[in-house]
């Protein structure tokens, strides 16, 4: 029985990407590797919609991307506004405090987003050097309207640098770095891109880079973009050894996505999300988010289902879902439906979920749920 990994990341990795990952390791200054890295960087630009942005591919997790985003644009004592609609929005608060900036946070209840009026009024009252937006928060499955927020910021506080956490969005949700006027965006390899964990991808705008150049010092060595820029411009150069085989895998995945077509890839995520939600809400599960993302869903349990028992029995049947975080822990589970996951795999997972519900003594109409999935 094939195990179905349906957590919000890491996500299943296709045979093609695994094959690329397993190729013989080259020297990191080899012409052949430099060509692969250059290709991956070019495709990263397209992925973010950042033809004018400067791309980076660095060995590290999405949290490294968060840290690089802030440390390279904020001096100690400067002001940061965090828009948080979940656990990972809150992480920006911790990072900001760690690097010595003044942090103000606008926090939304679980499943909701920060009202635009609240953001605008806060920006009008105080000056902020940067603002962070979590495009999709993995803890609640909530999607932020980055375009609308960015447009308002450009009007109300045009000098504020805009940072977007794209970790659980990039590849599954359209992003337009240039058009929306974003200054820093980052993601991780292990979500909708369908690559194993280990890489953070970023893009910086020209004014974000100029801000870094104006800073006397940054509170990072490895994460300093000025040390990495020569390497990204010419991958033959050296600062720190890149994760060679991971870059093979990333380039292969981005090639597959490019060939599939980004609009079609987005539509695939939207379609699979609709199917899963139609099926599970039919039998009593409740979607947490009022603004759900297409890459994952967070479902509250119906009466009679205990979290640990549900996930444990499901894992025995070969389907792995994630526990909820923060205030939702024990009340809900998180399910990824992104990257290389197929519709057939989701249908198998659904059938096993319905079996577990019945084993736990909860009556569900399997036929109704399966029809809802197929018809959505």
CATH of the domain at 284: 3.90.1150.10
pLDDT of residue 307: 98
User: What global pTM score does this model have?
Assistant: 0.98
Residue 210 CA to residue 159 CA, distance in Å, equals 13
Residues 139 and 202 in one domain: yes
User: What's the rounded Cα separation, in Å, for the pair 259 and 249?
Assistant: 15
Same domain, 119 and 246: yes
In angstroms, the first-to-last Cα distance of the chain is 27
Could you tell me if 213 and 267 lie in one domain? no
Q: Are residues 91 and 197 in the same domain?
A: yes
What was the pLDDT predicted at 1?
64
pLDDT in tens, 179-194: 999 999 999 999 999 9
- DSSP conformation letters of 174-213: ---HHHHT-SEEEEETTSTT---S-EEEEEE-HHHHHHHH
Residues 251 and 267 grouped into a single domain: no
Q: Exposed (0-12), middle (13-18) or buried (19+): which is 256, by Cβ within 10 Å?
A: middle
- Are residues 269 and 218 part of one domain? no
Sign of CA dihedral 29, 25, 192, 239: negative
| Same domain for 218 and 163 | yes
Residue-range definition of the domain harbouring residue 234: 15-259
The answer to whether the CB of 313 falls within 8 A of the CB of 351 is no
pLDDT per residue, tens digit, the chain (376 aa), is 689 999 999 999 999 999 999 999 999 999 999 999 999 999 999 999 999 999 999 999 999 999 999 999 999 999 999 999 999 999 999 999 999 999 999 999 999 999 999 999 999 999 999 999 999 999 999 999 999 999 999 999 999 999 999 999 999 999 999 999 999 999 999 999 999 999 999 999 999 999 999 999 999 999 999 999 999 999 999 999 999 999 999 999 999 999 999 999 999 999 999 999 999 999 999 999 999 999 999 999 999 999 999 999 999 999 999 999 999 999 999 999 999 999 999 999 999 999 999 999 999 999 999 999 999 9
Q: Looking at residue 42, which CATH number applies to its domain? A: 3.40.640.10
Q: How many domains does the chain have?
A: 2
Tokens of residue 173, six digits? 């949700």
Q: What is the pLDDT of residue 2?
A: 82
Q: How far apart are CA 318 and CA 338, in angstroms?
A: 18
Looking at the fold, whether 251 and 265 belong to one and the same domain comes out as: no
Domain boundary among 244, 259, 274: 259
User: Does residue 56 sit in the same domain as residue 136?
Assistant: yes
Token pair for 235: 């991958």
| 78: DSSP letter | -
CA distance 269 to 25: 33
The reply to whether 239 and 290 lie within a common domain is no
Asked if 242 and 351 sit in the same domain, the reply is no
Domain boundary among 259, 276, 297: 259
Which of 259, 279, 308 finishes a domain? 259
152 and 189 co-located in one domain: yes
Cβ atoms 197, 190 nearer than 8 A: yes
Q: What is the pLDDT of residue 238?
A: 97
- CA dist 201 and 48 (Å) reads 10
């Amino acid at each position: 029985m094939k195990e179905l990994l349906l957590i919000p990341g890491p996500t299943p990795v296709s045979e093609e990407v695994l094959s690329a990952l397993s190729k013989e390791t080259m020297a990191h200054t080899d012409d052949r590797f430099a060509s692969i890295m250059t290709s991956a960087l070019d495709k990263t630009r397209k992925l973010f919609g950042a033809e004018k942005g400067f791309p980076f591919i660095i060995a590290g997790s999405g949290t490294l991307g968060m840290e690089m985003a802030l440390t390279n644009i904020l001096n100690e004592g400067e002001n940061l506004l965090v828009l948080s609609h979940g656990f990972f929005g809150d992480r920006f608060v911790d990072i900001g405090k760690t690097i010595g900036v003044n942090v103000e946070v606008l926090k939304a209840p679980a499943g909701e987003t920060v009202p635009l009026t609240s953001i605008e009024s806060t920006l009008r009252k105080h000056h902020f050097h940067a603002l962070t937006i979590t495009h999709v928060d993995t803890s609640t499955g909530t999607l932020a309207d980055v375009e609308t927020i960015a447009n308002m910021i450009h009007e109300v506080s045009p000098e504020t640098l805009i940072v977007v956490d794209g970790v659980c969005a990039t590849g599954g949700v359209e992003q337009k770095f240039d058009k929306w006027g974003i200054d820093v965006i980052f993601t991780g390899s292990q979500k909708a891109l369908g690559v194993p964990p280990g890489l953070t991808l970023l893009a910086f705008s020209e004014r974000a880079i100029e801000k870094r150049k104006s800073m006397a010092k940054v509170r990072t060595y490895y994460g300093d973009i000025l040390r990495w820029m020569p390497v990204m411009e010419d991958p033959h150069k050296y600062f720190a050894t890149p994760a060679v085989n991971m870059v093979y895998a990333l380039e292969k995945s981005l090639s597959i996505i490019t060939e599939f077509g980004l609009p079609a890839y987005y539509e695939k995520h939207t379609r699979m999300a609709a199917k899963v939600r139609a099926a599970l809400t039919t039998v009593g599960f409740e979607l947490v988010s009022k603004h759900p993302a297409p890459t994952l869903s967070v479902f509250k349990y119906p009466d009679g289902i205990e979290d640990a028992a549900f996930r444990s029995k499901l894992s025995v049947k070969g389907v792995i879902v994630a526990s909820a975080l923060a205030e939702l822990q024990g009340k809900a589970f998180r399910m990824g439906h992104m990257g290389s996951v197929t519709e057939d795999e989701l249908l198998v997972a659904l059938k096993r979920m319905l079996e577990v519900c019945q084993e736990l003594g909860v009556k569900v109409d399997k036929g109704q749920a399966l029809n809802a999935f197929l018809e959505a």
